């Protein structure tokens, strides 16, 4: 297959937008006599005039040959051998061009079969992620029509969609991810394949599926992403109990309102995305509020904190643990703390205001960050948020002062 070559006259990629470390890795591979390209999402982002967060490089050099070229290289993985070139604040990932045929069931079971650039690109998921870029001569190498698809905002599988989804079912999640992030269109063949293959998702690694979902919660497109998961019926396979509440008219709007709140917080220019405990709590909190209303408040009963703790634990387990992509214990514990703390920061009985010393608790900042998100949706909570924010600041100052005094006397 002959690729289409696009020169600097055809595209607007500027090398000054590419990380210098990525350029230095490419240059050294070229100087070593190897083919090396920037590949995948980094090329896609550059063509969309976005600065890439990650840089992946594909090369003809074998992992051991890459290691010989770079003293700051470590090799990772057995099933999928990769070279990580380590710099002070980042890692550049380098993979060798791969080939490999799927089994009768459609799954690729051998990943360390070396191949050509053409064979490598045919293993990738979508055409927009199948572009190679050589910044040393400013060429884009396109074997799959990804350049034109990107211009037409079209998301298209490389190869037959149903086969590609069977080879790697996580591609169905990634399809919804790219639709949510970029607003791309998909062809009817892709949608039919997703409908046909959606049960294949249970053959994937639960941890890998969860990582894709958590990354979308962090990126600021959670509302549209979960809407697409719900419409495609992937959500009911991954999180059946959560889907029940998403389909219930009494809770649906609030669940998506909190997902919108997560997006608003992540899009406010924070250096880091929200803590994953906060992200999980945002999925559970509107349901916890609904269940408290149904089980207690509608009967003129105010639940005590122990009952709220028990109910929060029950819902976290039902919604996010007893599911295909169960959340790990560390995140579930953080979620529980954040959820219960909301009823101490804003108690049902205003006379039972929590004491300021709770602001000294570890990770209290996550609880008031969640309160801030609630305040963005309910302005009546803003003064309460500001008060607890100041209480936390004073508690931090006291702790810093104690540490300084301790160091003086040691």
Domains of the chain: which residue ranges?
A: 1-152, 236-409
**Residues contacting residue 279 through CB under 8 Å, at least 6 positions apart:** 214, 217, 218, 222, 262
Q: Tokens 């295909």 — which residue?
A: 324
C-alpha pair distances (Å), 241 with each of 215, 311, 314, 321: 21, 15, 12, 10
The pLDDT value given to residue 100: 67
Catalytic residues: 54, 56, 125
243, 245, 249, 255 alpha-carbon torsion, rounded to 10°: -90
For residue 154, the SS3 value is: strand
Tokens of 184: 């791309």
C-alpha pair distances (Å), 289 with each of 157, 276, 343: 41, 20, 10
Rounded to an integer, what distance in angstroms lies between the CA atom of residue 225 and that of residue 174? Answer: 10
Tokens of 99: 């080939």
Report the CATH fold assignment for 1-152: Beta Polymerase; domain 2 (3.30.460)
Closest C-alpha among 247, 242, 239 to residue 323: 239
Alpha helix (H) residue ranges in 239-323: 240-246, 249-266, 276-295, 305-316
The pLDDT value given to residue 92: 95
Instruction: Give φ, ψ of 71 to 5 degrees.
Output: -70, -25
Instruction: Give φ, ψ of 220 to 5 degrees.
Output: 95, 20
Q: For each successive 10 residues of the chain (410 residues), what is the average pLDDT? A: 93 92 97 96 94 92 96 90 93 92 51 86 94 96 97 96 95 97 94 97 95 94 98 97 96 97 85 90 98 97 96 96 90 98 93 85 94 96 96 88 75
Q: Tokens 């028990």 — which residue?
A: 310
Residues 58, 132: contact at Cβ < 8 Å? Answer: yes
The pLDDT value given to residue 104: 46
pTM: 0.89
């Amino acid at each position: 297959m002959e690729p289409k070559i696009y020169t600097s006259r055809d595209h607007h990629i500027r090398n000054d937008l590419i990380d210098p470390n990525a350029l230095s890795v490419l240059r050294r591979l070229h100087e070593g006599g190897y083919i090396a390209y920037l590949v995948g999402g980094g090329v896609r982002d550059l063509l969309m005039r976005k600065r890439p967060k990650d840089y992946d490089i594909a090369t003809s050099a074998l992992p051991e040959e890459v290691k010989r070229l770079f003293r700051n290289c470590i090799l990772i993985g057995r099933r999928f051998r990769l070279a990580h070139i380590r710099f002070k604040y980042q890692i550049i990932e380098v993979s060798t061009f791969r080939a490999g045929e799927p089994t009768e069931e459609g799954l690729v079971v051998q990943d360390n079969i070396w191949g050509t650039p053409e064979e490598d690109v045919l293993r990738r998921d979508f055409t927009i992620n199948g572009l190679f870029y050589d910044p040393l001569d400013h060429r884009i190498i396109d074997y799959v029509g990804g350049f034109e698809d990107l211009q037409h905002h079209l998301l298209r599988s490389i190869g037959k969609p149903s086969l590609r989804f069977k080879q790697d079912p996580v591609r169905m999640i990634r399809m919804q991810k790219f639709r949510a992030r970029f607003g791309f269109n998909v062809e009817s063949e892709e949608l039919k394949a997703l409908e046909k293959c959606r049960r294949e998702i249970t053959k994937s690694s639960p941890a890998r599926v969860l990582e894709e979902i958590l990354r979308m919660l962090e990126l600021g497109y959670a509302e549209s992403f979960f809407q697409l998961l719900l419409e495609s019926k992937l959500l009911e396979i991954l999180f059946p109990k959560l889907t029940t509440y998403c389909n219930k008219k009494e809770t649906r709007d609030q669940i998506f309102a909190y997902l919108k709140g997560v997006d608003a917080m992540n899009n406010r220019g924070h250096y880091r995305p929200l803590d994953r405990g906060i992200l999980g709590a945002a999925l559970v909190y509107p349901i916890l509020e609904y269940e408290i209303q149904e089980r207690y408040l509608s009967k003129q009963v105010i639940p005590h904190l122990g009952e709220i703790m028990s109910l929060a634990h029950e819902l976290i387990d039902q919604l996010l643990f007893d599911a295909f992509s169960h959340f790990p214990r560390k995140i579930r514990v953080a979620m529980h703390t954040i959820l219960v703390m909301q009823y101490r920061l804003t108690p049902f009985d205003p006379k039972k205001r929590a004491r300021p010393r709770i602001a000294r608790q570890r990770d209290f900042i996550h609880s008031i960050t969640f309160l801030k998100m609630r305040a963005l949706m309910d302005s009546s909570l803003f003064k309460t948020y500001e008060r607890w924010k100041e209480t936390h600041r004073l508690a931090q100052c006291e702790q810093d002062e104690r540490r300084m005094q301790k160091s003086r006397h040691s």
